[in-house]
Amino acid sequence: MESSDYKEEESFKMFEGYFKTFTMQSEAIGGKMKFGIYFPPSVVKDHEEDPSKKFKALWYLHGLTCFESLFFQKCPLGLKKAADLGLMMIFPDTSPRDAGIEGETDHWSFGVGAGYYVDATQEPWAKNYNMYSHVTKELRDLVEKHFNVDPAKQSICGHSVGGHGSLVIFQKNLDRYVSCSAFAPMTNSINSGWGKNAFEKLFGEDNLDQWKEYDACELAAVNKGKNLDILVDQGDKDCFYPDYLLTENFKKAGEENGHNFSINMREGYDHGFPFINTFIESHLEYHDKKLSQ
């Protein structure tokens, strides 16, 4: 798989399908970006038989410190279920990797590996830290053009700050994503320690209106009365719950604004991949049902 728009880097056969990593030149980021795609066996077969056929796909956004192929390494049950369902999965990276901005590697919760899925407006971050546009525009355009992803059959899921990304992107683009779910998401970024620290740098300390544009609770109010259906799983032994994730705030925002937020508290589970592996199949089934309607 080669094109002037991207380059295939690695390919691994898994559950009779293929997980592949690619690089692309990103205008939004101002440099090279990696991404991963899982091609289920049915997609591989159908594409060989009919190169024009379009396919449903689920976007998965990783959390802090993660990268585009971590799901492939840590969540085999998810790829097995995707193979069974014939559901493509798309994995963007979490931040720019070669911006070279002073301070971007000082702490694990901001900068490299922690781009927060926003478009920065504050210098020096505004040139490179535009993950929102990267995910929702240029990478989406690329997978639709080159990998036959159906523009009308895409959903989004994420974990932790990737969960924040999925909740925000879905609510800002209701006409472009069929469904949304999240594992242990940061749900109220303007009141979370992670969000406050990042947004002060990315948007400026006093630009609260810009902060609110990337806050899942604030967007629930913007979409008041639309009866949004969102699935969330949260472990009650999560070391970042409730202080950084603020799950109760999201539940309240759903109730106050007429939405159907299904928030499942999972007894004994923490923040990591054992938790995700336990419940990932139910999330993929949820999205596949929505995408197949």
**Could you tell me the CATH number of the domain that includes residue 60?**
3.40.50.1820
Using CA atoms, how far residue 1 sits from 10, 91, 131, in Å, is: 10, 17, 24
| Catalytic annotation present for 238 | yes
Residues in the chain: 293
Which domain covers residue 213, as residue numbers?
2-291
- If one counts the domains in the chain, the total is 1
- Would the pLDDT of 3 be above 80? no
Report percent pLDDT > 70 for the chain: 99
| Catalytic annotation present for 160 | yes
pLDDT tens profile 267-279: 999 999 999 999 9
Q: In whole numbers, what is the pLDDT of the chain averaged over residues? A: 98
Rounded to the nearest 10 degrees, what angle do helices 273-291 and 76-85 cross at? 10
Catalytic residue among 26, 95, 160, 192: 160
Catalytic residue among 93, 119, 215, 238: 238
pLDDT tens profile 241-268: 999 999 999 999 999 999 999 999 999 9
Catalytic residue among 62, 134, 164, 271: 271
pTM over 0.85: yes
pLDDT tens profile 41-57: 999 999 999 999 999 99
- Would the pLDDT of 1 be above 60? no
Identity (one letter) of the amino acid at 269?
Y
| Catalytic annotation present for 106 | no
pLDDT tens profile 167-178: 999 999 999 999
